[in-house]
Copies of this chain bind each other. A is one copy, B any other.
Amino acid sequence: MATQKRTVIYVSDGTGITAETLGHGLLSQFEGIEFRPLRFPFLDSEDKVRDCLARINEVCQREGTRPIVIMTQTNAELSGILHQADAFFIDLFDAFIVPLEQELDARYTRAVGRSHGHANPEYNSRIAAMNFALAHDDGVSDTDLKSADIILVGVSRSGKTPTSLYLSLQFSLKAANYPLIPEDFERDHLPSRLLPYRSKLFGLTIAPEQLHRIRNERRPHSKYASLENCRYEVAAAEKLMRREGIKWFDTTARSIEELAVQLMQELNLER
């Protein structure tokens, strides 16, 4: 049976990132269909919208199937023009903004890109958090661990860096990370710099086989990457974390999104 192929068109007068994120979430529920994305961001004038309309109809004619249009168009007039296209529409504003206006007894402000503009204090705190994560990656600096919201520990390549960055970008969390290295296992205690911050420490661990694969890509055939050494480091790190009472998560089969959300839950429980 031939695979069904469908073009998905993301349309927005902003970046279209909200539309795209929703699209991924919805369309990933349908197996065995190949979705090809096309992006039309920043459609903020009638000219641009009419160009896009023509492109949508062109896709429809060429493919013989109507494309799926996922849109966050805040301007009702421009949105109306787009709806003339021969397409299947998922219109976030149509579906939710009008009912929300009633519920909140307020009018929406038709402000493009408001969710991530410089005027938005949340945006600025997100960038500050990302800079914090970069400055405190892999124990690079411990001058400011006091102001960290969370400190991740674990062996090299256990997933600390991507998780820290994701926590900063998605949740504006100041996330530092600190590697556990063979010296720590020999001393059999936590790096002393971390001791004052025990309540903010969470561990990451990983299956030795997967760690071996990941490290081997970086430094093939090194002792560092050998399965034997990976087994030793993971076992020693888990022993250390168990003794120090650090709660840890296994990153082997978890995505960074899942990990990040689980860590957020832990922080909420603690607070």
Which positions in A face B, CB cutoff 8 Å? 4, 6, 15-18, 21-22, 24-33, 39, 41-42, 68, 72, 74, 88, 90, 92, 95-97, 99-100, 103-104, 106, 108-111, 113-118, 120, 123, 127, 130-131, 134, 161-162, 165-166, 169-170, 253-258, 260-262, 264-265, 268
Give Cα A29 to B99, complex, Å.
Answer: 13
Given A127-B162, A130-B162, do A26 and B97 touch, yes or no (CB 8 Å)? Answer: yes
Give Cα A192 to B265, complex, Å.
Answer: 48
Contact A41 B265 (CB under 8 A): yes
Contact A74 B21 (CB under 8 A): no
Copies in the complex: 2
Chain B, residue nearest A114 (CB): B28
Contact B29 A74 (CB under 8 A): yes
Give Cα A96 to B91, complex, Å.
Answer: 9
Chain B, residue nearest A157 (CB): B131
Contacts of A100 in B (CB 8 A): 26-27, 30, 68, 88, 90
Contacts of A33 in B (CB 8 A): 104, 106
Residue contacts A-B, CB under 8 angstroms, 28 given: A15-B258, A15-B260, A17-B21, A17-B170, A18-B25, A22-B22, A24-B115, A25-B72, A26-B92, A26-B96, A28-B114, A29-B97, A29-B111, A30-B100, A30-B104, A30-B109, A31-B106, A41-B265, A88-B100, A90-B96, A95-B96, A113-B257, A113-B258, A116-B256, A117-B255, A130-B165, A131-B162, A134-B161
